[in-house]
A = this chain, B = another copy of it.
Amino acid sequence: MSETRVTGAALESFISGILEANGLTVQDAGIVAGLMTTADLIGQDGHGVFRLAQYVKRIRAGGINPSPAFSLAEDYPASAVVDGDNAMGHLVMNHAADLAVDKARQTGVAWVGSRNSNHAGPASLYAMKALPEDMIGLYVAVGSANHMPPWGGTDMLLSTNPIAVAIPAAKRPPIILDMATTVAAYGKVKTAAQRGEMMPEGWMIDREGKPLLDPKRSAEGFLLPIGGPKGYGLSLVFGILAGVLNGAAFGRNVVDFNADSVTQTNTGQFILMLNIAAFMDPAAFKTSIDAVWDEMKSSERLPGVDDIRLPGERLEATRRERSAKGIPIPPALLAVLDGLADETGVPKVDRKAG
């Protein structure tokens, strides 16, 4: 059986139709569909259309407000807190990023946080909004479920709290870092379980502190932070900056959005935009980033290493491949999407002619 692929345009149209059918305005549905499709185009398979059914379930259960009215809880020349009115996180952070760009154009740098937001897909989406503006974007989120205790503990008080940074280059692809503060994101554990594979040592431990290798037993243990106490510290600090500082959920107040579709999550995130023109000539900066690229690439390599990778390099390669050949949709996901189509009367997603 040949793999099913769909074009970005077809997927975007489908997602938009499903969201409209569930009460979002045409405009809002279009914004979310565009961002979710970009997630799939850049290879963030666990954060794109894969999440659509979960989002729809949450909207229908009243856990997401389909017709929100944003407001600014705080507003300073270079900072703001957006109250998302429990909208889809994509809408909140898309708005926050636009606001940060506008402010940074005037002030040099701007930081916009969110409260009453929701899961917004992959962190890189919002950092990347800096790139066409000749800015650098930095995004941090409180993860939508706790999978990690403080270092030495066993109570799951922390999430994978990811960070993304996007830096424009001239002729090279942009540098785009998008990483969890845990060794493995929880999605990788789920994927390993689906494939019947064991996890490498270092991803998870059990409640006795012993390595946990079977992903089917993941509920018995927790994710490990990068660098031990350092990753714990990063997750804690990012959670305070994206959560506590915005009046959003953190620690025991984080709602596990996988297990609970009803309770408002009060998710917090923030986006920081740096206007490169406030530091140096943007063209000169981007040329310098090309030079950084080439310098890293040209490093001598360890035995057995074929290539030095830059953060964002694989993302760009995936985007090119999928823009040309379509986005692969696994059979199980396609069945879920077809089910959503049947439920709502929206036409099924167009399969790409192969």
Taken residue by residue from 251 to 279, chain A's Cβ proximity to chain B (1 for < 8 Å, 0 otherwise) reads as 11000000000000000000010111011
| Complexed CA–CA distance, A208 and B304 (Å) | 10
* CB-based contact A208/B303 at 8 Å: yes
Rounded to whole angstroms, the CA-CA distance of A185 and B113 in the bound complex is: 32
Closest CB in chain B relative to A88 CB, distance in Å? 23
* B-side contacts of A230, CB under 8 Å: 179, 226
Minimal beta-carbon separation of A149 from chain B (angstroms) = 6
A300 interface residue per 8 A CB criterion: yes
Q: Is A218 an interface residue (CB 8 A)?
A: no
Known: A244-B292, A311-B233. A110 touches B109 (CB 8 A): yes
For the complex, would chain A's binding face be called helix, strand, loop or mixed by DSSP majority? Answer: mixed
Q: Among B110, B236, B310, which residue has its beta carbon within 8 angstroms of that of A311?
A: B236
Contact of A208 among B153, B274, B302 (CB under 8 A): B302
Task: Find chain B residues with CB under 8 A from A108 CB.
Answer: 74, 76-80, 111
CB contact under 8 A between A177 and B106, given known A154-B300, A240-B289, A246-B279: no
- Top 10 closest pairs, chain A to chain B, by CB: A226-B227, A76-B108, A79-B108, A153-B299, A78-B78, A78-B107, A155-B299, A152-B305, A177-B233, A76-B278
